[in-house]
Amino acid sequence: APQAAAGRAAEASAGTGPADELRLGYFANVTHAPALVGLEEGLFADALGDTKLTTQVFNAGPAAIEALSAGAIDATYIGPNPSINTFIQSAGQSAHIVAGAAIGGAALVVRDGIDSPADLEGTTLATPQLGNTQDVALRSWLASEGFATDTTGGGDVHITPTENAQTLTLFQQGGLDGAWLPEPWVSRLLADGGRGAHVLVDEADLWHVGAFPTTVLLVRAEFLAEHPETVRALLEGHVASVAWLDDHADEAPAAINAALEAETGKPLANEVISRALEHVTFSVDPHAETFETLVANGLEAGTQKDGSIDGLFDLRLLNELLEEDGTEPVSAGGLGEE
Amino acid sequence: MSSQTADHTAIRIERLGKRFGAGPLVLDDVNLSIEAGEFVCLLGASGCGKSTLLNLIAGLDRPTAGTIDVPTQGAAVMFQESALMPWLTARQNVELALRLRGVPRAARRGGALELLDTVNLADAAEKRPHELSGGMRQRVALARALAQDRPVLLMDEPFAALDAITRDLLHEELERVWRRTGRTIVFVTHNVREAARLGQRVVLMSSRPGRVAGEWRIAETEGRRIESPEVAALSIEITTQLRKEIRRNAA
Amino acid sequence: MSSQTADHTAIRIERLGKRFGAGPLVLDDVNLSIEAGEFVCLLGASGCGKSTLLNLIAGLDRPTAGTIDVPTQGAAVMFQESALMPWLTARQNVELALRLRGVPRAARRGGALELLDTVNLADAAEKRPHELSGGMRQRVALARALAQDRPVLLMDEPFAALDAITRDLLHEELERVWRRTGRTIVFVTHNVREAARLGQRVVLMSSRPGRVAGEWRIAETEGRRIESPEVAALSIEITTQLRKEIRRNAA
Amino acid sequence: MPHDALLEEPPGATTHPENDDLRSLEAGLDRLQTDADRAPNAWRRFTTSVVPPIVFVLALIAAWQLYVVITQPRPDLAPGPLEVAAAIGGAWESGRLQLAVATSLERGVLGFLIAVVVGTPLGLLLAEVKPLRRAIGPIISGLQVLPSVAWVPAAIIWFGLTDATVYFVVLMGAVPSIVNGLISGVDQVPPQLRRVGTVLGAGPGRLATLVVLPAALPGYVAGLKQGWAFSWRSLMAAEIIAVGGTIGFGLGSMLDQSRELADLAGVLATILVILAIGILIELVVFAPLERRMLRRRGLLQGGAR
Amino acid sequence: MPHDALLEEPPGATTHPENDDLRSLEAGLDRLQTDADRAPNAWRRFTTSVVPPIVFVLALIAAWQLYVVITQPRPDLAPGPLEVAAAIGGAWESGRLQLAVATSLERGVLGFLIAVVVGTPLGLLLAEVKPLRRAIGPIISGLQVLPSVAWVPAAIIWFGLTDATVYFVVLMGAVPSIVNGLISGVDQVPPQLRRVGTVLGAGPGRLATLVVLPAALPGYVAGLKQGWAFSWRSLMAAEIIAVGGTIGFGLGSMLDQSRELADLAGVLATILVILAIGILIELVVFAPLERRMLRRRGLLQGGAR
Ligand SMILES: Nc1ncnc2c1ncn2[C@@H]1O[C@H](COP(=O)(O)OP(=O)(O)OP(=O)(O)O)[C@@H](O)[C@H]1O
Ligand SMILES: Nc1ncnc2c1ncn2[C@@H]1O[C@H](COP(=O)(O)OP(=O)(O)OP(=O)(O)O)[C@@H](O)[C@H]1O
Ligand SMILES: [Mg+2]
Ligand SMILES: [Mg+2]
């Protein structure tokens, strides 16, 4: 299988030495806090040494995947579903997940008057993007509740993938009955949405451990094969960043907000960011064991092609680092190298 | 338009002047009276104002000075381009004229076919203009002009764009129609021989401004052909005069 | 094209036949020989194959059967539409012909102006075709054809689209050029009088298929005018024959 | 002078030898001057104008498939024709294709019809009323230069993510085309035809309905055709950009969805469907309309094309 | 027969009285048949064709301002002209406007030039090589029907959010127009001109350069003009849809940004700028080019427009 070949290449050839430049993508979003903090605190730069770091900010997963596929970036923070998607679409040739980044932080927020899943019949709900992590989660949850949905907005519950900012506006204006969103939008909708906005389902409740991946670190397969040293340095920065977030829980909101303000021009309200951070956990474990379920859900929701994700993970570099630090290695769940 | 004219005069033009906007005088002090049933040829070089004069007679434009008296029923007009409606068949083109004249629907088809037969086009009634040759188109236009049933027929170089053979035939055709219907015809042309061939009277116009520069009458018009010696003799006379007019502009 | 012909014969056509694709025979067994310096008018009704014959002589098309001998230098051609390049001035149009003939750049301007003066257009040298009247355009085309400096000049109804006054003048102009340059001219026309006015010889073609249907020679051509009695007499004779040919197609 | 009197032949005139002579001469000349209708050879037309592009496209597809088979590129960056066909098939089976085509066509056609209803009187008004035309004409021409996609953001703010946004953009795209087409159609009416109408005794009303409008038809149809093209373009732009909200699922949304799923085969499949619909509408609706009209007027060029 | 011999007058010929007669007659006729050049009245043209639209636009703006002042609508749904002007001013001061205009213009012009370089030889090839044209011509015409916005998703997948995406979309929009313009230009070359060229002794090479190409110029320029319009449209579509990545900040991005900030005044301001640039390019580049060419050929219609 090609992915196995790529993996072997990374192992055997040790590439062509460190890259001159690492182009990293991320979103200006709370669930991408390791990236924001790593950049803000200079953790990546420290780790990368001579390799120049350039960054690109994306609004949504597809754009990041497109940039990755077109070779415009080398690595990106992204949700698990777009990662699965590109891996399957490219028959395993496009990219590998090298680490986890964030867990949790998504929820279904609905208007007044919807208090149980049964009340959702005939409503219109938004998700950030067709086939993204929250979109798939909403569809599979609705299916488990016995509602039919489809990707064209039909069915018992109408799902309309809409940009997050638009979702807030539409919800305020009454054009939407609810939305399954990641942080900080859950908190923003609760704070600014009006119309009695409240959480109907917290995604954390759906998974047996309350742990499900929201953000992972994805690296272009070719880059990984050619410059494992650089990826290792990136991972060093990433691990340091996650550790920083763990250690500085009180400073984190301000640091994240500063990064957000630099990117989007507007900081989040204090209560929004603190509520958001309460619901997100940062961890380098990608929780690989949940991915088979994610694939099954995506298939069921009709947002994904059928295909193997065997080889999606390449956690060897991460585990090397963790080993050096003396921490527990993480598992690839049988879906790649660990 | 204007008042009915005296018994035998179909068209009376007096001290007519015309200029367009602030341009130069195009027609100046034109005097002409045309009798009912007369066939008058208006001859002149390009741009001398023949079309302008014809349009004034047809009521398509207003004179700057002077008066024009024409029969109250008005005049039918034929142009150099047949100006048939390209989306209508030959018959429908003639029917349009009948319709605008107020002929009831039921009578139109028959009337149109009859008129087309007059110009020997009964077989081509269902053809569209682009399927007809230039000569056939002008014959349809003639049938259409006849459909208007007006006592005066004004023709502005109707045969200028046709080939010589067709033109000769149409001269005969036109003469036949004229003799049969007794219309008053004012025929504008560049062609000295055509004028001498067709007209009972030839009026030569000068250029810049247009004035009547000469007039010739032909006593016997029956059985004339364009090659006839009388036509040739008259042509030489008119040509000499015409060339004199043209040379005047050389300086 | 083909071999140089015998001393006095400029063009020799033998047993010429032409059909387009699988269509009917357009020309059938045409035999004609034209002497150097002769002025021949080719007369026939529309569609009888005059242009086809002329194109064959010009080498623009290939015969289906038979042979055509023309001078090795080839022939200059003038068409009904002047076909001047609309983006070039009168002078540049003539210069283009000189350039394609291989005249060196320095000599072109003078040559072109001289040729334009020949057709009395020295004043209009810097005008573009659309600024010229139809007659002036045809004179530029004549100058261009003269610029080619070929012994044979083929003309396909060059004056058909002009008004009668201009046409008469161009007849005189053409005759003057012919006398001065001694070209062999083949002149295609519909117009019996034009043919009788210009040609030393008039060749009448029949229609469908085109064949030579009659020939007339004019002994004395000096000082002829279109209104001359000899022209009229010849016209009547040719017209009668032509009408017979046309009537043949009525059935 | 009664009409019939004019046409009445003097007794015996039809048998007058001279007249008969003239008739046979005219008949002979007419016969010579009109070519026999050549039946357009359908088979020949088929082999010279339908077969070559089809062969070319098939060759292109074969080359593409060959390339994919030989070089085995990443399927998400260079899917083969089979995968694209499979994507069309999959979309058809799931019913998404039919839904998208129906939605887009409905919007396109409805939007176009509204544009016709709005544009036609506006065009007539501008064509006939000189001062209005001087004032508004340049603005309309200017609007035709503005990419209608630029209206999408404004429309989203005004109408939200609803169908009104889509229709607004379609209208802004199509109306200027239709108006300008009609104006240039009326402009191209030969003044001679108007004068003939006047001479024949038509007042302004009948002149407009019996002469000017039918004469302006070719320009109008050309404007309609272009208007449709702009409707379709604008619709696709609006559908691609304005996704979500209560906007239904059209071809543009399908394109955008495929893109979001990084499904290039789906993207190419949708492009093919959009292209096919564009060509189909042109072939089925406008081409026959235009051809029939031009043929009736003898404006159709020889079949060399 | 040497050239000069042909033109040599027999001695005394110029003073031959008959010849003089002919000359004066011809001169008289030429004088009669050509109108004196009427100098186009610039002032009149200005008052009849420039003033009315400007007055109309000013009146429109005044009415809009009045409406805003009287009804006091929500400024985010109906900003007044002053606010839009302020938005333009603000964008200018911050330098975003200049940046966006420069970026978009650079891309539009560069993309258009590439399209010309690609489209011109392709068009010539298709126009002159019949079999190629039969095979590829319909495909090119078909591509012209395809909204170029449909290429944006595919281009994004292929090239990511980079400038290559923008250029690809611009090319797909402009090339078919230019090719078709050139083909129809060559088609419209009167066959008579080609035959004259042949008769004058031009071989295929000189026929193409001295006759066919200059004769096809009007169609080519029309194609270029339309190609530019399509470049500009496609560019805006690409810029609006493909934001982020390494794609520079153009007018489309500015439009999209204003929309995301729900800043309708900014959206309208950007639309006005896009419109102004489209009209300006047309007025400054294509209109004079076209007018000069048409005037030289006498194809310019009377100034009624
Ligand atoms: N609508 C108009 N506006 C301004 N000038 C005009 C108008 N119509 C004609 N003229 C001018 O009036 C003069 C006479 O024109 P007219 O068309 O009557 O001449 P004509 O004798 O019919 O010429 P031709 O034989 O070429 O048809 C010309 O100089 C022409 O320029
Ligand atoms: N390229 C062609 N292909 C097929 N048929 C042709 C072609 N050119 C001419 N013909 C046919 O050949 C016949 C003679 O045409 P030609 O143009 O030579 O006639 P003509 O005598 O010049 O007519 P006119 O006086 O109208 O110019 C016509 O019936 C015409 O239809
Ligand atoms: Mg006139
Ligand atoms: Mg001919």
Q: What is the architecture of the domain spanning C1-74+151-251?
A: 3-Layer(aba) Sandwich (3.40)
pLDDT for the residue B226: 77
**Is D259 in the E-facing interface, judged by CB distances under 8 Å?**
yes
**Taking all residues of chain B, what is their mean pLDDT, rounded to a whole number?**
85
Does this model's pTM top 0.80? My answer is: yes
Best of E54, E134, E184, E232 to mutate (most D CBs within 10 Å, chain D): E134
If one compares A266 and D51, the residue with the highest pLDDT of the two is: D51
If one compares E106 and D77, the residue with the highest pLDDT of the two is: E106
If one compares A8 and E25, the residue with the highest pLDDT of the two is: E25
Asked if pLDDT for residue D115 goes beyond 90, the answer is: yes
B110 with B87: CB under 8 angstroms?
Answer: no
Confidence of residue D305 (pLDDT cuts 50, 70, 90): very low
Please report residues of E whose CB lies closer than 8 A to that of A27.
none
Q: What is the mean pLDDT of residues E112-141?
A: 87
Asked if pLDDT for residue E4 goes beyond 50, the answer is: no
Q: Could you tell me which residues come within 8 angstroms of residue A297 by beta carbon, excluding any fewer than 6 positions away?
A: A136, A137, A139, A140
Which among A270-274, D69-73, D92-96, D109-113 has the top mean pLDDT? D109-113
**Is C194 in the B-facing interface, judged by CB distances under 8 Å?**
yes
Please identify every stretch of chain C with a pLDDT value under 50, giving residue numbers as ranges: 1-6
Closest by Cβ to D138, choosing from E53, E137, E187: E53
**What's the distance, CA A149 to chain centroid?**
23
Q: What is the mean pLDDT of residues D33-61?
A: 76
Q: What is the mean pLDDT of residues D160-176?
A: 88
If one compares D178 and A330, the residue with the highest pLDDT of the two is: D178
Cis peptide before B209 (omega within 30 of 0): yes
D94 within a domain of the structure (yes/no): yes
D175 with D112: CB under 8 angstroms?
Answer: no
Asked if pLDDT for residue A22 goes beyond 50, the answer is: yes
What is the C-alpha to C-alpha distance for residues B79 and E36, in angstroms, rounded to an integer? 26
pLDDT for the residue B4: 46
Q: Which two tokens stand for residue B148?
A: 């208007």
Sequence spans of domains, chain B: 1-74+151-251, 84-149
Closest by Cβ to B248, choosing from E28, E33, E35: E28
Closest by Cβ to A72, choosing from E246, E260, E262: E246
CATH of the domain at E119: 1.10.3720.10
Tens-digit pLDDT profile for residues D5-23 = 444 444 444 445 566 777 7
Q: Which two tokens stand for residue D44?
A: 């020949």
pLDDT for the residue C161: 82
Ligand 1 in reach of B47 Cβ (< 6 A):
yes
Tens-digit pLDDT profile for residues D228-260 = 888 888 898 888 888 776 778 889 888 888 888
Confidence of residue A43 (pLDDT cuts 50, 70, 90): confident
Confidence of residue E5 (pLDDT cuts 50, 70, 90): very low
Q: Which two tokens stand for residue A237?
A: 């920065």
- Nearest to residue A288, comparing CAs of A213, A189, A218, A195? A213
Asked if pLDDT for residue D280 goes beyond 80, the answer is: yes
Which chain E residue has the Cα nearest residue C80?
E192
pLDDT for the residue E245: 65
Please report residues of E whose CB lies closer than 8 A to that of B249.
28-29, 31-32
Do D and B count as touching (3 or more CB pairs closer than 8 A)? yes
E117 within a domain of the structure (yes/no): yes
3-state DSSP assignment of residue D78: coil
Residue whose token pair is 């020295």: C122
What residue type is B102 in one-letter code? G
Ligand 1 in reach of B52 Cβ (< 6 A):
yes
Tens-digit pLDDT profile for residues B71-94 = 888 888 988 888 899 889 999 999
HEC string for chain B:
CCCCCCCCEEEEEEEEEEECCCCCEEEEEEEEEEECCCEEEEECCCCCCHHHHHHHHHCCCCCCEEEEECCCCCEEEECCCCCCCCCCCHHHHHHHHHHHHCCCHHHHHHHHHHHHHHCCCHHHCCCCHHHCCHHHHHHHHHHHHHHCCCCEEEEECCCCCCCHHHHHHHHHHHHHHHHHHCCEEEEEECCHHHHHHHCCEEEEECCCCECEEEEEECCCCCCCCCCCHHHHHHHHHHHHHHHHHHHHCCC
What is the C-alpha to C-alpha distance for residues C234 and C217, in angstroms, rounded to an integer? 10
Residues 53-82 of A with CB under 8 A from E: 56-59, 63, 66-73
pLDDT for the residue C20: 84
How many domains does one find in chain D?
1
Do the chains contact at A175 and D260, CB–CB below 8 Å? no
Ligand 1 in reach of B236 Cβ (< 6 A):
no
In angstroms, what is the span from residue C53 Cα to ligand 2's centroid? 10
Closest Cα to atom 24 of ligand 1: B46
What is the C-alpha to C-alpha distance for residues E52 and D139, in angstroms, rounded to an integer? 11
Q: What is the mean pLDDT of residues E212-239?
A: 88
Tens-digit pLDDT profile for residues E71-81 = 888 777 788 88
- Nearest to residue D215, comparing CAs of B83, C216, A64, E190? B83
Do the chains contact at E160 and A66, CB–CB below 8 Å? yes
Percent of chain A with pLDDT over 70: 94
What is the C-alpha to C-alpha distance for residues E232 and E240, in angstroms, rounded to an integer? 12
Asked if pLDDT for residue B121 goes beyond 90, the answer is: no
Is beta strand B65-69 parallel, antiparallel or unpaired with respect to A178-182? unpaired
**Which residues have CB atoms below 5 A from the ion given as ligand 4?**
C 51
**Taking all residues of chain A, what is their mean pLDDT, rounded to a whole number?**
82
Closest Cα to atom 17 of ligand 1: B51
- Against chain A, the chains showing at least 3 CB pairs within 8 Å are D, E
pLDDT for the residue E36: 59
In angstroms, what is the span from residue B27 Cα to ligand 1's centroid? 10
E30 within a domain of the structure (yes/no): no
Tens-digit pLDDT profile for residues B142-200 = 899 989 888 899 999 888 888 888 888 888 888 888 888 888 999 999 888 888 888 88
Q: Could you tell me which residues come within 8 angstroms of residue C137 by beta carbon, excluding any fewer than 6 positions away?
A: C82, C84, C129
In angstroms, what is the span from residue A30 Cα to ligand 1's centroid? 81
Name which of B57-61, C11-15, E299-303 the model is least confident about. E299-303
In angstroms, what is the span from residue B46 Cα to ligand 3's centroid? 7
CA distance E74 to chain A (A): 15
Q: Which two tokens stand for residue A29?
A: 């979003």
Please report residues of E whose CB lies closer than 8 A to that of A70.
157-160, 162
Q: Domain span at residue D132?
A: 81-296
In angstroms, what is the span from residue A115 Cα to ligand 4's centroid? 90
Name which of D52-66, E27-41, E122-136 the model is least confident about. E27-41
If one compares D280 and E300, the residue with the highest pLDDT of the two is: D280
Ligand 1 in reach of B209 Cβ (< 6 A):
no
Asked if pLDDT for residue A200 goes beyond 90, the answer is: no
Ligand 2 in reach of C47 Cβ (< 6 A):
yes
Q: How many CB pairs under 8 A join A and D?
A: 85
pLDDT for the residue A8: 40
Best of A89, A129, A158, A305 to mutate (most D CBs within 10 Å, chain D): A89
D35 within a domain of the structure (yes/no): no
pLDDT for the residue B70: 84
What residue type is C110 in one-letter code? G
**Which residues have CB atoms below 5 A from the ion given as ligand 3?**
B 51
Q: What is the mean pLDDT of residues E63-68?
A: 88
In angstroms, what is the span from residue B210 Cα to ligand 1's centroid? 10
Cis peptide before A184 (omega within 30 of 0): yes
Confidence of residue D301 (pLDDT cuts 50, 70, 90): low
pLDDT for the residue D62: 92
- Specify the DSSP element, H or E, that contains B195: helix B192-198
